Amino acid sequence: MNLQNYLSVSEEVKDAVAKGLPVVALESTIISHGMPYPKNVETALEVERVVRDNGAIPATIAIIKGKFCVGINKEQIEYLGKKGLDVIKASRRDVPVLLAKGEDGATTVTTTMMAAKLAGIKIFATGGLGGVHRGAEKTMDISADLEELSQTDVYVVCAGVKAILDLKLTLEYLETKGVTVLGYQTDELPAFYSKTSGLKVDYRVDTPKEIADIIQVKDVCGIKGGMLITNPIPDEYSLDGNAIEVIIESAIKKADNLGIKGKAITPYLLDEVQKQTGGESLESNIKLVINNAKLGAEIAIELSKIKKAVKP
């Protein structure tokens, strides 16, 4: 028994990685837990199309029938979309159990990073990062995404930390773990649904080439862990941050009263925000994921050029 028993990489992705072509990893939690069918499938396929249209190869990742599948096909995306919430939202702790039992799992930021690393993919585009939950000083509820960033050499493009979380404490945690936070064409940490949070990123970067250069230096120096590349939601889809904050505070109180906690809290809060915004937050979520996929493709292309140029 070896890794190949639990890892299946599509021929397209395997060939692209071997040739040093640009590849962008994509998660599958957005398919099974992010939105209802068939919107989830339509969005996943649209994100893949955007990656291709911008010159890179998409590699949507999921756990299917006990295997990390890197570069799933349309039928597998449809399967996850229809199964929906019946698919386990898989974080690091779930992986050995799901693989051993031959079950399905929707990959989070954490598990998508794990599988991308195994497949040799450097760039991963997603929606928002998990982080330190509000009230974590009492609950100790901190996303495994942060720990994964500190130890896994995959570079994550996102629209900042999910707005339902404690953004300031998340930045503090990332600093403690030595994870660099870059702001693409911004000095401020994006707040997922809105462009700004009032919090500063570590460094501003203005081009995909600049980001790729930083990644290459990090790789050459053997500096462990990933990096966070935050990409603000486009102006036309940005929501009012103050209004979103009021909705989130109300949703958190409802969740407390209902005893909702752990991995169930994030989808519950996002669903509440969606309901209270009349679906606007869902559309914003889709647009920001597409925006991140485009930037991820651009970075992957520049990184591919660099690595080909320095290859002996």
Which of 156, 30, 138, 152 minimizes the C-alpha distance to 85? 30
Residue 86's CB is within 10 A of a number of other CB atoms, namely 9
Which of 135, 142, 157 minimizes the C-alpha distance to 292? 157
Which of 34, 31, 32, 12 minimizes the C-alpha distance to 23? 12
Token readout for 64 is 């299917």
Q: Could you tell me how far CA 282 lies from the centroid of its own chain?
A: 16
Token readout for 171 is 């930045």
Residue 7's CB is within 10 A of a number of other CB atoms, namely 15
CA 154 – CA 206 distance, rounded (Å): 20
| H helix intervals, the chain | 11-19, 29-32, 39-53, 74-83, 95-101, 109-119, 136-139, 144-151, 167-176, 208-220, 241-258, 265-276, 280-310
- Classify strands 57-64 and 67-70 as parallel, antiparallel or unpaired: antiparallel
- Catalytic amino acids? 27, 162
CA 40 – CA 274 distance, rounded (Å): 15
> Is the backbone peptide bond immediately before 38 cis, with ω within 30 degrees of 0?
yes
